[in-house]
Amino acid sequence: MFKCSPKKFETEFHSGKKLNYDIVFVADMPAFYRIALYNRLSEKYKILAVFLREGNSTRNSDFHKGECLFDCVRMAGSGRFAQLADVYRVVSRVNFGRIFIFGWSEPASWLLAFLSPRRKNCIVVESSIRESQTSGLKGLMKRLLLKRIGTAYCSGTLHEKLVRALGFKGKVVITHGVGLYRRVPQPAYSPRNRVKNLIFVGRLVWQKNLEFLLKCMSKRPDITLHIVGFGPLESELKRIAPKNAVFYGAVDNESLPELYSKMDAFVLPSRSETWGLVVEEALNNGLPILLSDRVGCSEDLLQEGKNGFSFGFSDEADFLDKLDRIFDLETNNAMRKLISERDPEAVENAQINAY
């Protein structure tokens, strides 16, 4: 079963007539950054979004917030085969110029790739070469799916490298992101005479490599680590945390800018990170960034030594060296001055224009 909105679309859909769209997106679930992107695109194109799931219990409640200004179908909690039948039923009722599928893990992606003409098929690639397999059975399956794709919309440089490593010969479009974060006015630069606050924002899960981060921070007691988020590892992380780590739990997106304003740098130590929307958010809030070498957006957003540093995700000495450098007062002020000159609206428009 599925739900249609708005009411006008639901009425038109059940009328039985074919509906016409410029773009159809078939994504795993609604997320605030996707909704924001589709809303902007709907100003120019007629869009239908099909969300395969309502949400994810591991995310903040406001992760799925946002009014959809486009026609939308949300799949209910049905079994896999029932969902495929529903997806087929929806897509068979529409004519479209392009259809976007998301990655290779969804059965619906495979169904649509083989039902639709290759020239209309687009794939959104949010996985990067640093964390996605290109060999073995998984690599073979990805290559097979890509043979049915006309255009690959890749989040960034490392994502393009992935599809090229998989032998994709079609057109590649770099989208410069995975969606539109909640943009705020870029903070004006003001020099500081003391820096000591580091912030992490994200889920408390194995992929984020927080055990490594806490171990390293125990060796820098003069720097306070602020951890925003929740997840299955919360109790264990609190147990092993040094005294200079502070846990906030879930924080609404609307409240984050005030918290960011009190921080001096942002860290994302992930073992695996397909993109890292929170990195864009940190830069938009004026913070230098400290990223592991597994973060997918690092080649696109990180200017080494200018707006932040990268480090080996399991290299303690490298991390501590980069931590000391980003908290050097002169370096930190210089980075924040450069970051204050960013034009986040131009960054946002580049992503919209990619479509």
pTM over 0.85: yes
- Under a CB-based contact definition with an 8 Å cutoff, are residues 73 and 52 in contact? no
Cα 165 from chain centroid? Answer: 22
Residue 180: strand, helix, or coil: coil
Beta strands in 6-82, from DSSP E residues, in sequence order: 19-27, 47-51, 71-75
Of 248, 245, 336, nearest to 289 by C-alpha is 336
Supply 74's token pair.
């949300």
pLDDT of residue 47: 98
Cα within 13 Å of Cα(28), Cβ side: 12
Predicted local confidence at residue 79, as pLDDT: 79
Cβ(20)–Cβ(29) under 8 Å?
no
Q: How far apart are CA 326 and CA 320, in angstroms?
A: 10
**In the 8-state DSSP scheme, what is residue 191?**
-
Tokens of 1: 């079963």
What percent of the residues of the chain are helix, what percent strand, and what percent coil, each to the nearest 5? 40, 20, 40
What per-residue confidence (pLDDT) applies to 77? Answer: 67
For the chain, list the domains and their CATH numbers. 2-180+349-354 (3.40.50), 197-343 (3.40.50.2000)
Ramachandran bin of 197, using left for φ above 0, alpha for ψ from -120 to 50, beta for the remaining angles: beta
According to the model, what pLDDT value does residue 62 have?
82
In degrees rounded to 5, what are phi and psi of residue 99?
A: -125, 130
pLDDT tens-digit profile, the chain (355 residues): 789 999 999 999 999 899 999 999 999 999 999 999 999 999 999 999 999 988 776 677 788 889 999 999 999 766 788 899 999 999 999 999 999 999 899 999 999 999 999 999 999 999 999 999 999 999 999 999 999 999 999 999 999 999 999 999 999 999 999 999 999 999 999 999 999 999 999 999 999 999 999 999 999 999 999 999 999 999 999 999 999 999 999 999 899 999 999 999 999 999 999 999 999 999 999 999 999 999 999 999 999 999 999 999 999 999 999 999 999 999 999 999 999 999 999 999 999 999 9
The pair of three-digit structure tokens given for residue 296, joined into one six-digit string: 């997918």
Tokens for 157, please give them: 């440089």
CA 282 to CA 309: how far, in whole Å?
14
Q: What is the pLDDT of residue 57?
A: 65
User: Which residue, among 176, 234, 172, 225, has the nearest Cα to 203 in the 3D structure?
Assistant: 234
**Residues in contact with 53: Cβ distance below 8 Å, sequence separation at least 6, in sequence order:** 28, 29, 75, 77
Strand partners, 265: 198
Give helix then strand counts, H and E, for the chain.
14, 14
